[in-house]
Every structure is written in structure tokens, then in C-alpha cells.
Structure 1
Amino acid sequence: MKRITKNIGLRGELPAPADTTNETDLNPSHLYAIIDIETTGGQPAQDKITEIAIFIHDGQKIVDKYNTLINPQRPIPYFITQLTGISDEMVQDAPKFYEVAKEIVEFTEGKVFVAHNVRFDYSFIKKEFADLGYTFQRKTLCTVRLSRALIPGLPSYSLGKLCKSIDIDLKQRHRAIGDAEATAVLFDKLIKINRPVVDGNMHMAAENTSQLLKQEIKTSLLPPNISKEQVDNLPMVPGVYYFHNEAGEVIYVGKSINIKKRIIQHFNIDYKSRKSLDFKNNIADITCELMGNELVALLFESAEIKRMKPFYNRQQRRSVFNTGIFVYEDEKGYKRLTYGSINKADNVSMTPLIALSNHYKAKGFLYHKVSKFNLCQKLCDLYKTSGACFDYQVHQCNGACVGKEKPETYNVRVNAAIDSITYEHNSFVIISKGREPGEKTIVVVEHGTYLGFGFVDETFSASSLEDFKGAITRYNDNKDIQQIIRNHMRSKHKDKVIVFE
């Protein structure tokens, strides 16, 4: 058995990337590259590898191994050194990744890439090779998933606690050589757990292992707690899906016009940060609600995110929108945009054009409209003065603030700005495809305010807006909802729209 403990200077062109996927007719005699790495941090996009260890297993035993420190060509953070024991001094004379890249390719060629939480190690190594202009691709297998399948019910499947649970001696914790060796011993134990000899039939035992490994390789990119059957049973229709943790709590809400396809995309995306890895590892169940079409899925997703505030949703979490953008006409005939509290709109007693979360967001919104539509800062309450606004002094305002531009000319641009944030019609209903044949969805907007949506039988008959309002579930209106509906109305949709003026 050979052991390489440092770079031996192999250079030259990297071999052509292998054309490989996670589809395989694997049998236990194939080779597995069991890998662990140490890095400068948890994000492949910006962090680098400091150590790599590879143990080769032939389906029966460990037959070879490789280990080297790597100079990351950047300082190693203090807390990483405290965790791994790898310091800047230790890697100062170590080879750089490009100097060992050819060895890593050759050492793993034709082998299944095995790791504990394989997505972490695989994503880092793929990124290092991508930086060299090379596509690194291997079949993958995750020992976390394999452990959960073969040793269910353990309190933890982290490498340290798992090794303690099944009596694996884990030396040099948080060093690549120590963790890779422990993972190799774990892998050896796991495949032998699934290989009992029945009536002396070794062939049947080996076939048992082959089928299990084949299945795990196909599903290695799924979260450890999610089975292939769960994904296979997902619907391929529009709707909203929920990821739950082991306690049943919703940790993420999403939507798609094809739920199954979108969720598979979630799981196939390369790991970008430690947080994204934690996110996938925390997914223990998937549920969904069918919506019938993309518009209603978007509306319901937004409402659910605001209601539940799942930990891993960052967009659309805000549920309080206290500040509005208003329009009124002053005594000189100029249309003026302003902002203020929706509940305490001073002397502006009309419905807001749009609701935002706070005054800071509202001012930023108005500054954008002033710039885009060449409006006057003073007439948008963004520049307090009795004379000309600042933009007029630098020749960026046409002078509405001092009466130089006539109201009818200025108001054309104000109306264009208003049109960009409001609906074409004041009150309307959108009728679209339902969840099943014979059903339709209705979305109701009254006086520019979204009221909600509902599902009705295709025989449903309505002669007034009140009839439609009686058939919906009420939901809150807000900036996010308004944007969703505006975008839909401006798209090339084929929905029926009934207008009430």
C-alpha cells in the first residue's frame, strides 16, 4: 500500500475531464475515492483548500492513500488555525493547488467521490479546478446519507459523534488525513453492514451492496433526510412547496410552475456557503399546496413567507408596510408625489399608490422615480426649500419648482411615473386556470387594492365585483403583491381580465 505525503512535482496538461454522471451500474469491486479537505473558510467562491486527503477503497478494503498540505496563497484566519491546527507557517512551503491538480485528477479518475457531507468537499474541489479552467466531474456518494439509511435512529450523524457511536477511532479531528481515514473506516463498516452472507451465498451479499450503493450514488446530492421516493412523488404542476426540519417547522417556502423540477434544482445546485449546506442538511420533509397557475402560486408564496417568516427565506419576509406614496394636486395645478404614514397621512386623505415598509424606503423609492422620470425633488417632498430645488440649480430640473415649467407639461411625466407603479385599471378580476379540470382561479383588485384570490368551479357565474369578492379568501395588499400583479398584467399572459370601472 502506497502513501504519498507531499507533492512530488507532477506537472503538465490535466487529463480530459471524464464524462460521468451519477448513473452507474456499480458493483462492490469498483473503486471509491474517500476524500476530506480543510479550507480557509466555508465559502467555495472565496475560500481555498489548505489540505486534502484521499483514501482509495476497492469495495473490500483500503488499498491506497494520498495526503498533502496545500498553500492557499492567502492568510489562514486565526479561528481556522485554532480549529484545524493548520497555520500559515505550515503551508508556506506546501504546493499550490495547481501543482497537485494533475495528481488529484489521476488519483480520482474512474472512482466514485465519497465524503461525509459530500457536497461540501465536492463543491470546493470543483471550484478549485474551475479556477484552472478545468471541469472536474465525478460520481458522488455521501456517507451521511448512507449512515442514515443503514444505521437509523442515531442522535447525530456528524462525523465526530457518528464515529463515537459506532466505535471508530477518530484521530487528528479536523485534519484532512484524520477525517478522511475515519470516513474510509466508516464506509468500510457501512457496506459490510449491508452485506450479510445468506446460506453461504457471497454473490447475493455482494449484489445487496451493489444495489444499495447504486441507489445512494443516484441520490447522493439529496439532503440526508430526504429519500428518492419523496422526490419521485412530488407533483409536476404549479404550486407552493415547504421545506420542514426534523421538528416539523417550516424553514423555507418556495413556488414553481413545476414543483418537482424546481425542488430537484434546489438539490443539484453546487454548495456556495456553509449556510447553504446547513440549509440542505436541515431539510427533513417536503409538503406542497397546488395552486393551478404561476400568478396564484406567486401571490400565495408571498403571503406564506410573510405569515411564517421561515428562517431560510430572506426575500419578502417583511409583513408590515406602514408608509405610502401618495399623489395630490396643489393649488397651482402641479401633481405632487409625497410620502407619509398610511394611517396618519396628514392632510393627504387618499389611498396610497403603493405601500412600503418605512419612510427611508419611501424616500429611496421617490428618488428613483425623480431620476427616471426627470421630476422635481421639491415637488416630491425630497428637497425642503421656498425657492428652487437643488436639481434646478445644476440644470437637472426643468423648473416646475419655480413655475418655469408649466403644470400640464410637468404632469405628463408625473402621470408616467404613476403608471409605472399602479395598475392600468382601477378595479378588475383575473380569471385563470385552476388546480384541476373544471376549476378556475380568480384574483380580485378593487380601487387599486389587492383583496385576495380564490378557487371556483368553472360554472361559477358573477354579475358584479361583489360576486367575485364573495368567492375569494382575503389576503393583505403590499408592495410585493403589487409588483407581482403588475408584472403579470404587463406580461403576455392568456388570462381573462374583467374590468370594473
Structure 2
Amino acid sequence: MYAILDIETTGGQFNEEGITEIAIYKFDGHQIVDQFISLVNPEIPIQPFVVKLTGINNAMLRSAPKFHEVAKRIVEITADCVLVAHNADFDYRILRTEFRRLGYDFNTKTLCTVELSKKLLPEQTSHSLGKLVRALGIPMADRHRASGDAMATVKLFKMLLDKDVEKEIITGLIKSEIQKGIAPKLLDIIESLPSKTGVYYIHNEEGKIIFIGKSRNIKKRVNQHFTGITRSSKKIQSEVYTVTFEETGNELIALIKEAQEIKINKPIYNRMSRKNHFSWAIYSEKDSDGYLRLKLQKTDGRKKEILSYINAADGKNALYSITENYQLCQKLTGLYESKTNCFQQTINECDGACTGAISPSEYNLRVQSFIDKNCFDNKNMIIIDKGRNVNERSAVLVENGVYKGYAYYDLNYQINNPEILKNILIPMYSNKEIQRIIQTYIRKNKALKIIHF
């Protein structure tokens, strides 16, 4: 659990500042579960430049509660939380100073979103809160007021959690929870999970990720792990300490995150169950007569594939559809073995590439049409899909056939070209597996919208 806060002060000499406003949002990594926002009477004058910056003046604070009157609520809402702030050293120092004046030792772990953004968003020219949220397309209201700045920090922190593919932030939180007490039971873990689409992370007692998976129903899938009788399920059951998750809103981003984060984190039980998800692929080659032939073969990394499939049956079924849709010859697509013509020509459903009745150039135009539509090379597109809530959409960027990353954006933030998207993109590396995932997803027409550019 995180307590994300922002504090406005009177300004003045070091360690002599007083708090004028405080906002704290209790955040579970997915949503705000509690909040506390209040003006505070500092009992000392506010510096004029601060009045100009924040709009908070001495008259506004005369009837506001003093710090000792809100101290108990601050302790309650931050209990067992990691304190998160933009420039956390400043906010933490101010809080500790105020509590020290009351004779109370306020002590907790902290995370600084300035330091996190420098590490996870190194391409940004400025890491000040105002410039950073503008560059990332994060909506912001009431700049230099505690509630506005704290809410912007919540949204920034949520994006940083998405960017943290090595899961250092969440693993650090779990390690601190492990120090505090006993692991929740399996049923308690399942009850804490959503029945939504996303990626889940199974952690052991050291906080280490031992399994990463994706599902359209996280709760149901984790329950299967906890009730399974396979060797890997039994090992997971004996070692699990807790399960964390990230909702993705749609299956495409869940598939991409699962594939990439398994490679980065190398969980031990993913390695045990490792398999090639796309073991068959369609290739094209020109025969001695000049005809382009499509062939379904075992995946060969040395060749340039057009489409790939989980098994031979899926590939063969797809090849039948391709042959029919593009008016190709079953003999030349390897679906009918014959030394003469194919069966389809016998019933007048093939116009005779198998017997030379049509020229290679005419036939190859149809094959090339299929290749151009399905080959990933040089494709430029933005795949728009559902977000994690009704007010959000997701976007996946593919540029020159290379997967660049994904982003979530508010519905009032229009994404219609790659330059806008790049400002908020969570960049990722691209490989053949990701390419296959995206191709398969598009082929099944699951995306809400595809923008070609």
C-alpha cells in the first residue's frame, strides 16, 4: 500500500517552515482507497512569494485546523504504507519536523517519483512535476495546490509502475510487508484478486517473482494454480507468499507484457513450463516455373515468415481459408498432393496455376496481395483498444514493422498520430514473439480501431 502525498508550506528558513496544506491519497497500486485533504494553520506568516505561487494566504488559514488537530488522521492513513512524493525528501522532512514538535517520531519508508522518473523515463528533458505531466499527457488541475499536485503524482506513479518491467518497486513493497508478518492464506490471496484481464505475478517468501501469467480473468486463473495437481502447480502452492497483478484492460497488452516480463524477470516456474507458442508458420518461395508457393512448415528462425500458428492444425485451417479467399491453388499451397492438376480445378474452383493455365505473373499478384496484407515488415499503425476503465483507452504503436510500446490515455486526449503517442508511450523492445502476438491479435479482429499512417 502506498500513501501518495503533497505538502504546501509557508516557505522560510530550513526546518522552520510550517505546513499550509496537505493532501494524501492512499493507493493500492491500482486505485485510490482513501484520501485526506486539508488546509493547515501553520501559526506563522506565509512568505509573499508562496502566496503568489499557491494562492493560499494567511486569511484562508485562520480557521483551518492546526497540525496537532490533523496529526492523528495523518498517522492513520499512512500506517503500513510506503510514502510516495515528488521530491520525497522534502515532504518527508517537513512531516517529521512537524511530528517532532509534538514529541512523536514519525518514521516510514519513502519512494521519490523524481528519482523513479529519472530512472524509468530517462528520455524526458525535465523531471519537475509540472513539465513531466505535461510531456506525458497526464491531466492536471490546481497546480501548486496539495490536492492537484498529489493527484498528478498518483497518475505519474501509476505510469511508473507500468514502466517498471523489472518489478523493482512492487518487489520492494512486498519485502517490507514480509518483514511485518505472516503470509495471507491461499483463499485470502484469491479473494484479493479481480476477475479482470491482466497480468499476475506470483511471489515467494523472499518477494521474488516465481511465476508470471496473463488471463482474461485473473482470479479464476490464479485459483487454477492453487487447485492444480501438476508438478508446477504443486510447487507454486508450496512456495507462494502473495500475488500481485496489473490490470491491462485488453488481452493484447496482457499478452505483450507477459511475454516481455517473463524474458526480463526469468521466473523459475515459467522456465519449467516454457514452450514455443508459435511452432508453425507460413512461408513463401518461388518454384522452378516461377510461381510463388505458400508453405506451412515448422517455424524456422532463418526464414522470413508471413504468419505463424500455435500448432499445425491451426495453420492448415488458416491456409485453407487463405487459399479460398485469395483464389489460390491448393496444389501450390501444399494442401493437395498431385503430379497433375489439383482437385479444385476438376470442379472448376481453381483457374489452373497447377497446370500452367494462368501465368506466374497473374497468379503471383494474388499471392503478393496476401503477403502485403499480412507481412509485418514496414507496417505503421496504432492499435486502439479498451483501457482499464470506461474513461480510458489503450494504444499500441508499431512503426516500420517494429513494436515500439504501449500507452493508456484519457478519452479526452486524442491519439491520431505517432508523435502525440510517443509523449506518453511506455517503450518496449521488439522481437519475433511480440510481432506474432500482435499479428495474431489483429487477425482475430479484436482491436477496437487500427490507425494506419
Calculate the TM-score normalised by the size of structure 2. Answer: 0.42
TM (normalized to structure 1)? Answer: 0.39
Q: Which has the larger radius of gyration?
A: 1
